[in-house]
Amino acid sequence: MKSLIVTALTTAAAVAQQPAAAPKQPMSFFVTSVGPGDGANLGGLASADAHCQKLAEAAGAGNRTWRAYLSVSAADGKPAVNARDRIGNGPWFNAKGTRIAQGQADLHGDTLDLARLGNTVQRVNALTEKGEPVKGAGDSPNQHDILTGSRPDGMAYTDAADHTCKNWTSNGEGTAQVGHHDRTGGPNTSWNSVHPSRGCSQASLVSTGGAGLFYCFSPGN
């Protein structure tokens, strides 16, 4: 009996000494579950941010500031804005608490080693604010085109072409650079810069495998 008591006490002590499980990290990254519905006309950068904030609030994460991962080109005397400069320094976590990236360097693969390691933005982890997966290649409809207007390093384009559907105000002329949240299809497997859209209307975005969705990050982490 004594040995049983000693064993029980030893086991209880060992359990008590085990570190407590780390608390789930709050969501600081998501793919919009829906777009505004007017193609790549998001109403400009501020309205895109407001869309992120609205969706986050509906999901119970409105106590944080949210920013759309979108670049804009220099125009009308205003400088370009880089998507990577809008989202803070990380780390970022999805709705399930899975870490997407520790910081800017691994999110964008700033060094060769980090580019090889990559981030965890892919089909399983690139979830909406509701914690739901986004339809990708092989699903019907395919919605893996995610609006970014960005180069792979998260910077705005500097050439004369339109990569942002007139800085997210056009649903007609222009094109938008998109990434693939599922890392499938296209000339590369980039989450943020694979190819231009066919146009800026909702129909054009749908025809190339999108739905006018974009990434949202909270820079407050």
Q: Write out pLDDT tens, residues 151-185.
A: 999 999 999 999 999 999 999 999 999 999 999 98
Q: What are the CA-CA distances from residue 117 to residues 102, 109, 110, 185 (Å)?
A: 12, 8, 11, 20
The CATH code for residues 25-217 is 3.10.100.10
- Considering the entire predicted model, what is its pTM? 0.88
Q: Count other Cβ atoms within 10 Å, centred on residue 2.
A: 6
Distance separating alpha carbons of residues 13 and 30, to the nearest angstrom:
41
Instruction: Quote the tokens at residue 147.
Output: 């609006």
pLDDT digits 0-9 by tens, 62-79: 999 999 999 999 998 899
| Pairing between β-strand 92-93 and β-strand 177-180 as defined by DSSP bridges | unpaired
pLDDT band, residue 42 (cuts 50/70/90): very high
pLDDT digits 0-9 by tens, 14-25: 445 555 556 789
